[in-house]
């Protein structure tokens, strides 16, 4: 089998409720970061997030499904509808065992979970709703998508914090190689409830800056942490032969390379694994560093982690040798949805031959990065590298190529 290709894309993001709206906003540098509105954040030190505030779940799924799901799954319903339409896929045209769903997850349905925990402890065990068991767990989104679209092949769920979206794409490649014809891949997340936010506060990496335009500025000397966001992306992935055979006219990109590594345990004195992930992914794609036209960086926004990523990029590509961008400066870090959204951005960058900007960032010259800031950069793009790091030591890299 040839390398798999992405033929459909669906997006829900803080700065756009569908693929093209989000992409226009991303190219325009329109940020979706703002003061948290899902609840009153005044008592918390972190008050800025990327919320999908205009999202209407009822527009994308019947009320029955909305009632039994958390927002993380509702975003996936919407993104999947869009991705299937984009790829002109009618699931009924496929044998159900030829289709599968593989998503990333990170923290489960935290808002749904907090509501049910509150019922349990304020009203008693009998108050816990029948849907708690299926809405809150990490497999909820894959299960619901599989049932809704009748996709009965080898489904999966991977949790590697923010790196999960790339791991899900790699697992997608594996099941396609074993004979599955079409996979819904990607990830969506909704981490914002009061308990969800407090859980995140404990990692010490969230920005306590209250001005949205200064809260998440990776690679800037003023970087002070990251901003959480919600949403994500779902892709339709299939083999190039299958895509051609069913008359697909527009292929966004080929998934040409992937690698994942894990950082040494703290205190070992050994180097972090991101650079190795980049090198292994390029080797997997049979490409050299000079073949890469743009890097969608992880861009943690934590000074030490920014330095590590900049060093890895300089080591592989040379200083300022490749354009780098962090469009998640407009959305925040979306956890299970984050790397998926970056893959969507890379795919659309290859389609439109334009690099979306990072916003609000004045790159620290010490990082020696050619960071694309403020305005999109039109250039010839054939190969994009997407990087992602998950809290706790996860590193992943994916190489996308224009077809």
Partner 1 sequence: MTGRAVITGIGVVAPGQPGREAFWEMIVKGKTATRRITLFDPTPFRSRIGAECDFDPELAGLSYQEIRRTDRAGQFALVAAREAMADSGLDMDAEDPHRIGVSVGNGVGNAISMEQEYRTVSDNGRQWLVDQGYMKPHLYSYVMSSSLATEVAWASGAEGPATVVSSGCCAGIDAVGYAVDLIREGSVDVMVAGATDAPIYPVTVSCFDTLRASSTSNDDPEHACRPFDRRRNGLVLGEGSAVFVIEELEHARRRGARIYCEVVGYAARANGYHMTGLRPDGREMGEAITAALDEARINPDEIDYANAHGSGTKQNDRHETAAYKRSLGEHAYRVPVSSIKSMVGHSLGSIGSIEIAASALAIDRGAIPPTANYEERDPECDLDYVPGTAREAELDVVLSVGSGFGGFQSAVVLTSPRRIT
How many residues line the site for partner 1 (CB under 8 A)? Answer: 84
- According to DSSP, residue 383 is labeled E
Of residues 47-76, those binding partner 1 (CB under 8 A) = 68
Q: Is 26 or 193 the residue whose CB approaches partner 1 more closely?
A: 193
**By CB under 8 A, is residue 184 in contact with partner 1?**
no
Query: How would you classify the pairing of strands 231-239 and 99-104?
Result: unpaired
Question: Does 138 help bind partner 1 (rule: CB under 8 A)?
Answer: yes
Backbone angles phi, psi at 206, to 5 degrees: -80, 145
| Least distance CB 301 / partner 1 (angstroms) | 16
Interface with partner 1 in residues 148-167 (CB under 8 A): 149-161, 164, 167
Of 343, 361, 239, the closest CA to residue 19 belongs to 343
Q: How far is the CB of 213 from partner 1 (least distance, A)?
A: 25
- Name the residue nearer to partner 1 (CB basis): 349 or 396: 396
Residue placing its CB nearer to partner 1 in the complex, 146 or 358 = 146
> x/- string (CB under 8 A) for partner 1, residues 249-288?
----------xxxxxxxx---x--x--x------------
Look at residues 183, 284, 285, 185 and name the one whose alpha carbon lies nearest to residue 243.
Answer: 183
**Two tokens at 179?**
């004979």
What residues between 117 and 136 interact with partner 1 by CB under 8 A? Answer: 117-122, 124-126, 128-130, 132-134
**Least distance to partner 1, CB of residue 125, Å:** 4
Give me the least distance between CB of 100 and partner 1, in Å please: 7
Q: Is 147 in the site for partner 1 (CB under 8 A)?
A: yes
**Strand bridging mode 253-262 / 394-401:** antiparallel
* Residue pointed to by tokens 């299937």: 84
294 lies in the binding site for partner 1 (CB under 8 A) = no
Q: What is the CA radius of gyration of the chain?
A: 20
**CA-based nearest residue to 237, from 324, 138, 319, 343:** 343
d(CA 226, CA 317): 25
Binding residues for partner 1 restricted to 301-360, rule: CB under 8 A: none
146 contacts partner 1 (rule: CB under 8 A): yes
Give dist(CA 303, CA 287) in Å, integer.
Answer: 30
């Amino acid at each position: 089998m040839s390398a798999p290709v992405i033929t459909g894309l669906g997006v829900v993001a803080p700065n756009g409720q569908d693929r093209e709206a989000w992409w226009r906003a991303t190219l325009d540098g329109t940020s979706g970061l703002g003061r948290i509105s899902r609840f009153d954040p005044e008592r918390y030190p972190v008050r800025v997030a990327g919320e999908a505030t205009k999202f209407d779940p009822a527009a994308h799924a019947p009320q029955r499904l909305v009632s039994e799901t958390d927002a993380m799954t509702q975003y996936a319903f919407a993104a999947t509808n869009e991705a299937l339409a984009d790829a002109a896929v009618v699931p009924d045209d496929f044998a159900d065992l030829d289709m599968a769903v593989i998503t990333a997850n990170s923290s489960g349905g935290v808002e749904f979970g907090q509501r049910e925990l509150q019922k349990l402890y304020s009203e008693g065990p009998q108050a816990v709703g029948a849907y708690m068991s299926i809405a809150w767990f990490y497999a909820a989104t894959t299960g619901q998508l599989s049932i809704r679209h009748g996709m009965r092949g080898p489904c999966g769920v991977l949790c590697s914090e923010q790196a999960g979206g790339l791991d899900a794409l790699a697992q997608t490649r594996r099941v396609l190689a074993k004979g599955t014809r079409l996979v819904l891949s990607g990830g969506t997340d909704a981490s914002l409830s009061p308990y969800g936010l407090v859980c995140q506060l404990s990692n010490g990496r969230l920005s306590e800056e209250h001005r949205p335009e200064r809260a998440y500025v990776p690679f800037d000397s003023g970087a002070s942490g990251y901003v959480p966001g919600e949403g994500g992306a779902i892709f339709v992935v299939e083999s190039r032969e299958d895509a051609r055979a069913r008359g697909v006219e527009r292929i966004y990109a080929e998934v040409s390379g992937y690698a994942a590594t894990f950082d040494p345990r703290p205190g070992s004195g050994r180097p972090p694994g991101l650079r190795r992930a980049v090198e292994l992914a390029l080797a997997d794609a049979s490409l050299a560093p000079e073949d890469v036209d743009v890097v969608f960086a992880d861009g943690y926004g934590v000074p030490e982690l920014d330095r590590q990523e900049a060093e890895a990029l300089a080591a592989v590509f040379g200083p300022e040798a490749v354009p780098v961008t962090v469009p998640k400066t407009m959305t925040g870090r979306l956890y299970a949805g984050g790397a998926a959204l970056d893959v969507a951005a890379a795919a659309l960058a290859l389609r439109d031959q334009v690099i979306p900007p990072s916003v609000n960032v004045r790159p620290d010259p010490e990082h020696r990065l050619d960071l694309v800031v403020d305005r999109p950069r039109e250039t010839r793009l054939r190969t994009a590298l997407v990087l992602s790091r998950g809290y706790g030591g996860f590193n992943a890299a994916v190489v996308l190529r224009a077809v």
